[in-house]
Amino acid sequence: MAEFDAATLLVDRNLALELVRVTEAAALAASRWIGRGDKNAADGAAVDAMRKAFDTVAISGTVVIGEGEMDEAPMLYIGEKIGLGGPEVDIAVDPLEGTSITAKGGPNAIATVALAERGGFLHAPDIYMDKIAVGPGLPEGVVHLDAKPEENLRELARAKKCSIGDLMVCTLDRDRHKDMIAACRKAGARIMLLGDGDVAGVIAVSQPDTGVDIYMGSGGAPEGVLAAAALRCIGGQMQGRLLFENDEQVSRAREMGVTDPKRIYGIYEMARGNVMFAATGVTGGPMLHGVRRSATSATTHSIVMRSKSGTVRYVEAHHNFALKPAAFVS
Ligand code: VTB
Ligand code: MG
Ligand code: MG
């Protein structure tokens, strides 16, 4: 059992719920753009609303995973200081994870935020990361990024006391995963292919309802850190390795503190110490409902969790447009 410190507990608990307001604001703004074929407008609306929502949160936050560098992103750029003032924390954001799916009205787009104590997050550059993740309650090291897909599936099936045919692999539907997908199918596993949205894909391994047993494949490195923060709270194992396509990316990563470009990061190296994670569904998926709107109101569905307590909370919020600041509902 953890030590009881009422003051810290209160701050942490309140903060976790504040984070939901931030992802709700981003999701509500993005929901205006569902299916309208303009992913940049959807993304811009989410970023704008999330940035404004942070102004009301009692933290002294520094964005470490964000929308890019100061000169290329006007808001939520890496290094930006956000919040009203309060505990010193690092922030990772993806205001709209799944911009293309939102533009097409497809499933699984979320607005997401994670928070760590200062220095808690891997400073991941905006490149690809190779990822593997499984849910809680399995022997440590049951799967490994360097093992072949069929070996990982064999070990996972053994640990879960099932056959490979019972396992569901989740990955992004990309040409670069062709060989891995073929290997999984050859081994007899089933595969769920995602159009976008590997943060939700990784989190799915820790949620029995989704039917996903293992996530494999490459996606955004910032999304990898966000997913690691979520799994720190909800349980599960994850490994990630940055994938560099050229020397410029390597030197960029070095500037951000990455000393060994080949390193395999464990979940605690991507998200250390106390972390919190929140996400609100923009379009519906197996984990979260999407935003449902009427002329005068909207309903949002969010998940919020803290690594310290391990509590996972689902929050259904009913928003009355007449009583909300216009900035969050337009
Ligand atoms: C994934 C996915 C994101 O980027 O991280 C992906 O989760 C990786 O890049 O939603 P590619 O699309 O180039 O494969 C996104 O699609 C966009 O951030
Ligand atoms: Mg984004
Ligand atoms: Mg993204």
How does pLDDT run across 156-194, given as a tens digit for each residue? 999 999 999 999 999 999 999 999 999 999 999 999 999
State the pLDDT at residue 209: 87
How does pLDDT run across 109-157, given as a tens digit for each residue? 999 999 999 999 999 999 999 999 999 999 999 999 999 999 999 999 9
Nearest ligand to the CA atom of 94: 2
How many helices (H) and strands (E) in the chain? 9, 14
User: 327: number of CA atoms within 13 Å, CB side?
Assistant: 10
CA of residue 199 to ligand 3 center, whole Å:
8
State the pLDDT at residue 56: 92
How does pLDDT run across 74-85, given as a tens digit for each residue? 999 999 999 999
State the pLDDT at residue 3: 60
Residue 328 has pLDDT above 70, yes or no: no
CA of residue 21 to ligand 3 center, whole Å:
19
Q: Kindly report the length of the chain.
A: 330
Residue 35 has pLDDT above 60, yes or no: yes
State the pLDDT at residue 314: 96
State the pLDDT at residue 13: 72
Q: Which two tokens stand for residue 199?
A: 């943060």
For 112, which DSSP code?
Answer: E
State the binding site for Mn(2+): 43, 67, 94, 97, 223
Phi and psi for 92 in degrees, rounded to 5?
Answer: -120, 130
How does pLDDT run across 201-243, given as a tens digit for each residue? 999 999 988 999 999 999 999 999 999 999 999 999 999 999 9
Mean pLDDT score, 314-327: 88
pLDDT band at 9 (very low <50, low <70, confident <90, very high): low
Ligand 1 in reach of 80 Cβ (< 6 A): no
Nearest ligand to the CA atom of 201: 1
Ligand 1 in reach of 44 Cβ (< 6 A): no
State the pLDDT at residue 4: 56
Q: Which residues contact 126 (CB under 8 A, 6 or more apart)?
A: 68, 220, 221, 222
pLDDT band at 57 (very low <50, low <70, confident <90, very high): very high
Q: Which residues contact 311 (CB under 8 A, 6 or more apart)?
A: 305
Q: Which residues pair with 73 in a beta bridge?
A: none
Environment of ion ligand 3 (residues, CB < 5 A): 94, 97
Mean pLDDT score, 52-74: 94
State the pLDDT at residue 71: 87
CATH architecture of 6-120+275-328: 2-Layer Sandwich (3.30)
What CATH number should be reported for the domain whose range is 128-270? 3.40.190.90
User: How many Cβ atoms sit within 10 Å of the Cβ of residue 317?
Assistant: 15
Q: Does residue 71 sit in helix, strand or coil?
A: coil
Query: Which residue type, as a one-letter code, is found at position 236?
Result: G
Rounded CA-CA distance 296/279 in Å is: 23
User: For the chain, what are the domain ranges?
Assistant: 6-120+275-328, 128-270
